[in-house]
Amino acid sequence: MFKWKTDEFSWVDFTIDVLRVLIVLGVVIGAWNTLSSGRISLAQWVNLFAAGLSQGSIYALIALGYTLVYGILLMINFAHGEVFMAGAFTTVFFAEALNRTGFLNEQPLLSILLMIIFAGLVSMTVAILLERVAYRPLRGSPRLVPLITAIGASFFLQYTFRGLYGSGFKAYPQVKMLQGVISVGGINIPIVQIFVFCSALVLMLGLYWLVERTRIGKAMRAVSENKEVARLMGIDIDWVIMFTFGVGGFLAGSAGVINGMFRPQGVNFFMGFIPGIKAFTAAVLGGIGNIPGAMLGGLFLGVIEAIGPNLVLAGLGIPGANQLKDVIAFTMLVLVLIFRPQGILGERLAEKKA
Amino acid sequence: MNLLRSQTSKSILVLGALSGAFILFTGAVGMIAAFHEREVVDRFISLGQLLLLIAPFVTGYYAAGKLRALGEDAPVLLGGGMAIGLMTAIPSVILLLFNSDEFRFLLDLTLRLIPFVAASIVAWRMYRAGNETQAVIGIWLLVAVLVGIVSFSFALIFEIKGDLRSVLVNINRDWVEVVTFDNRKDLARGIGTFALISVAAGFAGSILFLMPAVPRRALIYGLGVTVLIGAFGETARLILQENVDRDTLREIFRRDTLRQNAALALFIISTVAGCLWAMFGRQARESFSNINVSQRRSLNIIGLAVFVVFMLALPWLIGRTLSDVAVTIGIFVLMGLGLNIAIGLAGLLDLGYLTNYAVGAYILAVLTSIGPLGLFKGTFSFWMVIPLALLAAMFAGFLFAVPVLRMRGDYLAIATLGFGEIIGKLAISDWLKPIIGGAQGVQAIPKPIFLGAELKNPEQLYYIVLVASLVCLFVSIRLNNSRTGRQWMAIREDEDVATAMGIDTARAKLLAFTLSAATGGVAGAIFAAKVGTVFPNSFTVFVSINVLSLIIVGGIASNPGIVVGAIVLIGMPELLREFSDFRFLLYGALLILMMIKRPQGLIPSKIVTHEVRTGVKPKLVGAE
């Protein structure tokens, strides 16, 4: 048999290096072609960027749930996308009801706030149940066992909600206040995008405050640092883990409502799967287990996903580049896992695991 | 109070609540109503009604065992069974009331009371734990407001929508019909019937437990066989149709349903057989294990010969429809055996297995199609392309494996999942449309031709799948005991130690990915030839999940387990069409359940079993 590794030279490293060069070349050539052809004006770039930021802030909110759980349990809660779906899907009915009474357009901010709390609590319940039923019995088993469980839970939740609410698509009602655009220096930005970004920002700041400034946040940090020592310090580990799942679930549920405002169409039982994987990408991008990292990673992924197809793929002469948006996101996922598993901001956890 | 806190009542309450939740859940997701479509015994009981009975029955039986272990005697056991039957009915009865016109106000009332009750319970527990009054009041307010938002919102939703059904689509007329045992018009009577039957089923469960061993086992056997054949009545009829004349068939079945007389006869026969087995089974087994080696060897050979003849004759025995199912099962056996090399032997959780499947299918499609997208318009035959599909899939597996060699465990799983999604999106994209047809896919794939005869029926395709599976099984068994197989297992157990022992892990992992990809490619090619068209919609993450589920359920690293897993998980939804809507619900539940209760699978491999028996914790996949 031939040898794969010698002391100086590794085929695996070599292949990965070749891959790296190819990707950089592709990106540079594609971008150069697009920019030099001038098909897309500056205003359009700004619009793409803004849309990317809003989409990214939704990813960021979901990614926080992955990161929080990973930080504490070192497990990938693969079913987190379905937690997001649970909140978004259930709240459609609430939004419809509010719309029917006319309250939604009379008091848009208050009703959106109510919807966010409602969705957050629904998702929180799902997340806590998930932890209690599926994950808690498996604590301490080899790491792939909870992952397989989580995959099972993901499909179980999808098809449960399909059974409960039906398999059709449902639409969020339009909020009048969020229609229309704001013009800044000749560039039109839809109000809803600004709204999405701002509300996500508020939620993230809230989380930051919770983790950094409160007693329970301190307990969460302690548990993620070292479970045994935290237990000795008198922290109730089970409660903290449950709380973490709850907080992650709440953020995911609120992301569901914000997503519903941003893209009113297309709420169904499968809506959480792809955003779930993308949010995981975002979490890894920022350094999984790292809270500001997840926020940054989400925004970054959103922007890349919006700009990438038009900048690189179109420049390489690939037709229908926008169809390949998801391909860009998943390629990012694979690339980050290959080249920088510790993420942009880096994280001590990743070194142990990658 | 003391009575409520005792271990006995606690276990009855918990089990009853679980069984009630199960019935409520299956009803709410629409399983009960869907299963009602299928009658198990003609004009007697449907699968949906059976589901309603099975939960209290099984729980009653299980609870009796648990209570016996707590040292309770017969009357308590029987009472417990009845209590469980009653508790099973309660949640669904409440939902029935909420759904009815007269008692709709109860739903509203409950939703408005919930926040106060919940807040009070939490506050009371905090108070009992010795918190300050101020904190308790604060918590009360917080919980009341939060829960209030949710439950008042639900109240609003139901008020505006008018009824439960507009939100919970499966709490509909059909469901009410099943749960009230056809007394939809007269709710009181329906609820009474339901509760009574449920209590009776729970009672029957505990009685069954109290029976002496022989009749108990005979009854379990008889009931099990009857229910199974009744539920799969269509399958049974299709098999009999090939072998029995029409009049006899009509005696036994009314369309696809077992007639009452036939069911009774079946029950009696299988109970008697079960009885005999319960009495003399052990003797038979002992006398079998006492025979000498040469006799046993000849018995083994006879057994093998019977098995081979059976497998060869299968298509004639079961007819066209079932042969089609057998081909599908075979394709998944192939993929299961392939993926098992990566997951089971080497511990690499590959969630992008559909990549290989898709590569195989598209290669065959593009090379042999006589449609507009075919490259050679029929110059290449199926047999020439199969090796190409195999090589192409291996190459794809190799290509995707190189970048992920450095990854471990969950990162690897997610990265391969990403690859799978990328392939799925590319297959449907406009970019590759000129080659593989985008959303329309590739059409007009000719059937394989063997010795001048076109293999166009599933009965004939069956042999291709059979041969491929057997070859794959053989390779898989040989690999299991080979040097490479042991290297993989070493990597599965601990990669660092494996490296330290001098195993070239990069090479071994590449080999695992590549070999596992090969069978995926063949499976894809056979699939393409069977269907005749290749759509991107056939290549979603669900393929990977299907294969993963059958490996986990059958038994990781266990070849017989995978075959059984494929037959159960792929065959059942195909044969029981009512089931196919709930296929992934079941898979999800099974994955969770297996990981928690039986991670080694239904038919575990010897090594894993050994690890369990000797108290070494089975690592199974991806030890860390």
Please report how many Cα atoms fall inside a 13 Å half-sphere around the Cα of residue B593, on the Cβ side. Answer: 11
Contact B361, B396 (CB under 8 A): no
Task: Determine, yes or no, domain membership for B144.
Answer: no
Residue type, B254: R
Range in A57-71, A282-296, A337-351 the model is least confident about: A337-351
For chain B, give the percent of residues with pLDDT over 70. 96
Q: How far apart are CA B360 and CA B196, in angstroms?
A: 56
pLDDT for residue A247: 92
Tell me the CB-side half-sphere exposure of residue B191, using CA atoms within 13 A. Answer: 13
* Minimum distance, in Å, between the CA of residue A188 and any CA atom of chain B: 30
Contacts of B480 (CB under 8 A, 6+ apart): B345, B557, B559
In chain A, which residue's Cα lies nearest the Cα of B588?
A152
* Res A321 pLDDT > 80: no
Query: Per-residue pLDDT tens for B574-595?
Result: 888 778 888 888 889 988 988 8
> Does B49 or A265 have the greater pLDDT score?
B49
Within 8 A by CB and 6+ apart from B542, the residues are: B584
In a domain, B115, yes or no: no
- pLDDT, tens digit, for every residue of B512-544? 999 999 998 999 888 888 888 888 888 888 888
Same domain, residue pair B486 and B573: yes
pLDDT at B419 over 60: yes
| Region class of B267: left (phi > 0), else alpha (psi between -120 and 50), else beta | alpha
Contacts with B157 from chain A: Cβ below 8 Å: 93-94, 96-97
pLDDT value, residue B489 = 85
Angstrom distances, CA of residue A95 to CA of A57, A268, B108, B500: 21, 15, 19, 59
Please give the pLDDT value at position B533: 82
The minimal CB distance from A122 to the residues B30, B150, B351 is found for B150
Tell me whether residues A338 and B585 touch, CB distance under 8 A.
no
Q: Which two tokens stand for residue B81?
A: 């069974």
Query: Which of B156, B188, B210 is the endpoint of a domain?
Result: B210
Chain B interface mutation, best of A6, A112, A334, A338, highest count of B Cβ atoms under 10 Å: A334
Beta strand ranges found along A223-307 (DSSP E): none
pLDDT at A351: 42
Instruction: Tell me the C-alpha to C-alpha distance, in Å, between residue B289 and each of A102, B284, B295, B297, B298.
Output: 79, 9, 11, 12, 14
Q: Which residues of A touch B159 (CB under 8 A)?
A: 97
pLDDT band per the 50, 70, 90 thresholds, residue B622: very low
Q: Residue A347 has what pLDDT? A: 56
Residue B67 maps to a domain: yes
* B409: pLDDT strictly greater than 80: no
Instruction: State percent of chain A over pLDDT 90.
Output: 19
* B373 pLDDT tier (thresholds 50, 70, 90): confident
Distance, CA of B366 to CA of A126 (rounded, Å): 45
Average pLDDT, whole number, for chain B? 84
Are B592 and A134 in contact (CB < 8 Å)? Answer: yes
Cβ separation of A145 and B620 shorter than 8 Å? Answer: yes
CB A89 within 8 A of CB A269: yes
Q: Are B362 and B436 in contact (CB under 8 A)?
A: yes
Residues B335 and B446 in one domain: yes
Render pLDDT for B97-113 as a digit per residue (tens, 0 to 9): 888 888 888 888 888 89
Q: In whole angstroms, what is the distance from residue A67 CA to residue A74 CA? A: 9
Apex B198 CA angle, B197 and B202, nearest 5: 115
> Are residues B588 and A323, on separate chains, in Cβ contact within 8 Å?
no
CA angle B109, B110, B115 (to 5 degrees): 110
B454 reaches A (C-beta below 8 A): no
Position B42 in a domain: yes
Are B186 and B250 in a shared domain?
no
Query: Nearest-CA residue of chain A relative to B156?
Result: A97
Nearest Cβ partner for B414 among A159, A280, A318? A280
Domain hosting residue B257, numbered range: 213-281
Residue B3 has pLDDT above 70, yes or no: no
Contact B225, B271 (CB under 8 A): no
The answer to the question of residue B306 being in a domain is: no
Lowest mean per-residue pLDDT among A101-105, B223-227, B469-473, B543-547: A101-105
User: Which helix (DSSP H) or strand (DSSP E) does residue B40 occupy?
Assistant: strand B39-41
Tens-digit pLDDT profile for residues B459-477:
788 888 888 888 988 888 8
Q: Do B332 and B388 belong to one domain?
A: yes
Which positions 378-437 of B are in contact with A (Cβ < 8 Å)?
402-411, 413-415, 417-419, 421-422, 425-426, 428-431
ipTM of the modeled complex: 0.90
Are residues B199 and B255 both part of a single domain? no
Q: In sequence order, which residues have a C-beta less than 8 Å from that of residue B483 and are 6 or more positions away?
A: none
Q: How far apart are CA A245 and CA B435, in angstroms?
A: 46
Model pLDDT, residue B560: 85
Asked if B250 and B194 sit in the same domain, the reply is no
Alpha carbons within 13 angstroms on the beta-carbon side of residue B266 total 21
Distance in Å, alpha carbon of A129 to nearest chain B alpha carbon: 13
- CATH code where residue B466 lies: 1.10.3470
pLDDT band at A352 (very low <50, low <70, confident <90, very high): very low
Q: Is residue B59 part of a domain?
A: yes
Predicted local confidence at residue B607, as pLDDT: 67
**Mean pLDDT calculated for residue range A118-143:** 88
Looking at the structure, tell me whether residues B262 and B377 fall in a common domain.
no
Confidence at residue B491, expressed as pLDDT on a 0 to 100 scale: 85
Mean pLDDT of B236-247: 81
Task: Enumerate the domain spans of chain A.
Answer: 42-272
Which band of pLDDT confidence, cut at 50, 70 and 90, is reported for residue B623? very low
Phi, psi of B569 (to 5 degrees): -80, -30
User: Closest approach of chain B CAs to the CA of A43, in angstroms?
Assistant: 27
| B175 and B222 housed in the same domain | no
- Alpha-carbon distance of B143 to B488, in angstroms, equals 53
Let me know the angle formed at the C-alpha of B467 by B463 and B471, rounded to the nearest 5 degrees: 170
* Pair B224, B339 in one domain: no
Indicate which of B591, B594, B619 best probes the interface with A, i.e. most A CBs within 10 Å of its own CB.
Answer: B591
Question: CA B89 to CA B447: how far, in whole Å?
Answer: 53
- Residue B500 placed within a domain: yes
Specify the number of domains making up chain B.
3
Chain mean position to CA B145: 41
* B74-99 tens-digit pLDDT: 888 888 889 999 999 999 998 888 88
Are the CB atoms for A124 and A253 separated by under 8 Å? yes
Q: Is the same domain home to B382 and B234?
A: no
Report the distance separating Cα A305 and Cα A354, nearest Å: 25
What pLDDT score does B319 carry? 78
